Amino acid sequence: MRTLNAMVAGVAVLLTLAALPPRHIELVSSFPAADTVLTKAPSELVLTFNADLDFGRSAATMRSPQGTPVKLGDPQTTDDPRQMVVAVAENLEPGTYMVSWTAAPKDDHGGRGRFRFEVR
């Protein structure tokens, strides 16, 4: 009986932990994906995180192959509150671009990161 009680308690703890929001926000996917090579320049960036975003504290920037800022639109929401869509407001020439992001969930600490992609 003690073993059964311990197993039930263990399962309850695991289910409680699984239901908690993540401690720090992380990028789980992007378009373009990190380190990809594109034959056509993207017209937008799509960043998906592991928690609902606070758009007032979330942003993305992009640098050209020469290191200069690329003009982007303001982050937009989608039906998925974990997703940010940012329009690329200028034509991208061939080269490697660096995307930097800062994201904050509605209920916890933010995070930041970056990834690169190439346009050929």
CA 79 to chain CA centroid, nearest Å: 15
| Predicted structure pTM score | 0.79
Query: Is residue 48 one of the residues assigned to a domain?
Result: yes
- Read off the amino acid at residue 4: L
Query: Is residue 92 one of the residues assigned to a domain?
Result: yes
- Read off the amino acid at residue 19: A
**For residue 93, what is the domain's CATH number?**
2.60.40.1220
Give me the pLDDT at residue 48, please.
98
Query: Is residue 107 one of the residues assigned to a domain?
Result: yes
Give me the pLDDT at residue 108, please.
73
Phi, psi of 89 (to 5 degrees): -95, 10
Please provide the DSSP assignment of 3-56 as one string: HHHHHHHHHHHHHHHHHSPPSB--EEEEESPTT-EESS--SEEEEEESS-B-GG
Query: Is residue 97 one of the residues assigned to a domain?
Result: yes
- Read off the amino acid at residue 59: A
Tens digit of pLDDT at every position of the chain (120 positions) = 666 554 544 544 444 444 555 468 999 999 999 999 999 999 999 999 999 999 889 999 999 999 999 999 999 999 999 999 999 999 999 999 999 999 998 877 789 999 999 999
Range of the domain at 115: 24-119
Burial 30-63 (b: 16+ CB within 10 A, else e): bebeeeeebeebbeebbbbbbbebbbeebbbebb
Q: Which residue has the tokens 């930041």?
A: 112
Query: Is residue 8 one of the residues assigned to a domain?
Result: no
Task: Count up the domains in the chain and report the number.
Answer: 1
Query: Is residue 1 one of the residues assigned to a domain?
Result: no
Query: Is residue 84 one of the residues assigned to a domain?
Result: yes
Query: Is residue 111 one of the residues assigned to a domain?
Result: yes
Nearest to 45 by CA among 54, 56, 58: 58
